[in-house]
């Protein structure tokens, strides 16, 4: 029989917990978050602590750590001060550009320029979107929650752009055309290419087939 790791989370360092969590909770979607500072500077950075939270109201969340000495990252600072951001979807063609925007650049640096991607005007927020990305969610900050050393930023979606090239009928996304990239641990990423489907079973069908034991 294989051995097992059994340990109290309280006995581990944040770094140990980070490795175990990011190596196990995979793949994670990447929120490529674009913001605009109060002074008008553009910022772009990827976050893999990113998730859809609700569709009514439509809400996204990204979680940001801090720089050294407790200084907020530009994305967090901008989102808090302007109360808006855009979540851009990272595709396989944009993976290298996304990785460049993860650089620890000095405050005020435009990661758009570093990565060679194009800031494009949004419709309902001042923060720019990444023109090359096929899907953008323009968001207004609805809640900011501090959990330990991380800050969770919730944004209510106010405008959605989906390029026709990845849009199917019935408001569905063509995942094979979108080719999104997922985050693993360390320097690992994954292409979403090995797809399969499973229909959600009905309880009544399972009982009829004898898959659920009667009490």
CATH number of the domain that 33 lies in? 2.30.110.10
DSSP per position, 42-61:
EEEEEESSEEEEEETTEEEE
In a domain, 4, yes or no: no
In a domain, 213, yes or no: no
In a domain, 204, yes or no: yes
What is the spatial distance between Cα 127 and Cα 34, in angstroms, rounded to a whole number?
Answer: 6
82: helix, strand or coil: helix
pTM of the entire predicted model: 0.90
In a domain, 145, yes or no: yes
Give me the domain span that covers residue 186: 15-208
In a domain, 101, yes or no: yes
pLDDT tens by residue, the chain, 215 residues: 467 889 999 999 999 999 999 999 999 999 999 999 999 999 999 999 999 999 999 999 999 988 766 788 999 999 999 999 999 999 999 999 999 999 988 877 899 999 999 999 999 999 999 999 999 999 999 999 999 989 999 999 999 999 999 999 999 999 999 999 999 999 999 998 888 999 988 887 766 665 555 44
Number of domains in the chain: 1
In a domain, 5, yes or no: no
In a domain, 7, yes or no: no
Please, are residues 30 and 48 in contact by the beta-carbon 8 Å criterion?
yes
């Amino acid at each position: 029989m294989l051995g097992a790791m059994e340990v109290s989370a309280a006995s581990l360092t944040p770094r140990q917990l980070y490795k175990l969590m990011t190596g196990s909770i995979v793949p994670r979607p990447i929120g490529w978050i674009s913001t605009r500072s109060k002074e008008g500077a553009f910022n772009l950075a990827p976050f893999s602590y990113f998730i859809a939270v609700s569709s009514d109201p439509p809400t996204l969340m990204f979680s940001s750590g801090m720089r050294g000495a407790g200084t907020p990252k530009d994305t967090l600072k901008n989102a808090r001060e302007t109360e808006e951001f855009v979540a851009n979807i990272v595709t396989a063609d944009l993976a290298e550009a996304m990785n460049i925007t993860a650089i620890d650049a000095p405050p005020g640096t435009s990661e758009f320029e570093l990565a060679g991607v194009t800031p494009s005007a949004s419709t309902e927020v001042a923060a720019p979107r990444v023109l090359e990305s096929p899907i953008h969610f323009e968001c207004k900050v609805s809640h900011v929650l501090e959990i330990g050393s991380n800050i969770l930023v919730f944004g209510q979606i106010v405008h959605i752009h989906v390029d026709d090239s990845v849009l199917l009928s019935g408001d569905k996304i063509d995942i094979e055309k979108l080719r999104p990239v997922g985050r693993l641990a360390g320097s690992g990423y994954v292409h979403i290419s090995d797809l399969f489907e499973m229909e959600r079973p009905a309880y009544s069908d399972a009982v009829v087939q004898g898959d659920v034991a009667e009490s």
